[in-house]
Copies of this chain bind each other. A is one copy, B any other.
Amino acid sequence: MPTPQLIAFDADDTLWPNQPHFDYAEAQLFTLLTHYADADTLGKRFYEVWRSNMHLFGYGAKSFMLTMIETVIELTNGTVTGTEIQQILDHGKRLLNFPIELLPHVEEVLEELRHRGVPLMLLTKGDLFDQESKLARSGLGDYFDHVEIVSEKNEATYRRILTRYGVQPQDFAMVGNSLKSDVLPVAKLGGVAIHVPYHATWIHEQVPADQLAGIPFHHAESLKEALAYLI
């Protein structure tokens, strides 16, 4: 396989853990709010409220906070206290500035690719401000020739980015943990899609197996293993 002309990496749960921080915040808040409802009820209603607000709030920690606040107000018929809501804000703020710990082999793999002169892109969806902050905190900024933060990663998004950079789909590779956002749309366009799964996958990013049938993509257990498909 020829070396791609542009290699893009997803950020959250590909280069650094992100979902575990959200899962932890959620679990802590559900414990705190357990006198109002059990964790199952809270979790189910939280996801429903998130889905109904998704078109307004988008992804990320601010959306998480607002959704959690609205869920609790609803489940308590407005009797939740300001003090409890402040705890939601405090947990949410921690989601906006937790220290970024790189996943195994990240720097080694980026260093190897940079050494070979392949242009690298960070391509992540989410909240612009938050994602820029995470990249800055990661210390990885200098590895990337391009940074694209988008609101959705679907076929139209990838098509727009490839046009902008003048790259053909077959010369483009995408590495990420999300089948929905990193793998399927890229594979469908004819790009090289490499799935590096992460143990914690957000429910919204899960893909039913039948949607994967016949879609050509690579599977790697780690970024180091992914390297074999990139050079």
Measured CB to CB, the residues of A under 8 A from B are 53, 55-59, 62-63, 65-66, 69-70, 72-73, 76-83, 85-86, 89, 92-93, 96-97, 127-130, 132-133, 149-151
> Oligomeric state, in number of copies?
2
Contact B78 A79 (CB under 8 A): no
Partner of A86, one of B78, B83, B97, B132: B78
Chain B residues lying within 8 Å of A55, measured Cβ to Cβ, are 133
When chains A and B are docked, how far (Å) is the Cα of A81 from the Cα of B73? 9
Instruction: Kindly report which residue of chain B lies nearest to residue A89, judged by CB atoms.
Output: B70
When chains A and B are docked, how far (Å) is the Cα of A56 from the Cα of B95? 10
Contact B57 A86 (CB under 8 A): no
Contact B89 A66 (CB under 8 A): yes
Cβ of A154 to closest chain B Cβ, rounded Å: 13
Contact A85 B57 (CB under 8 A): no
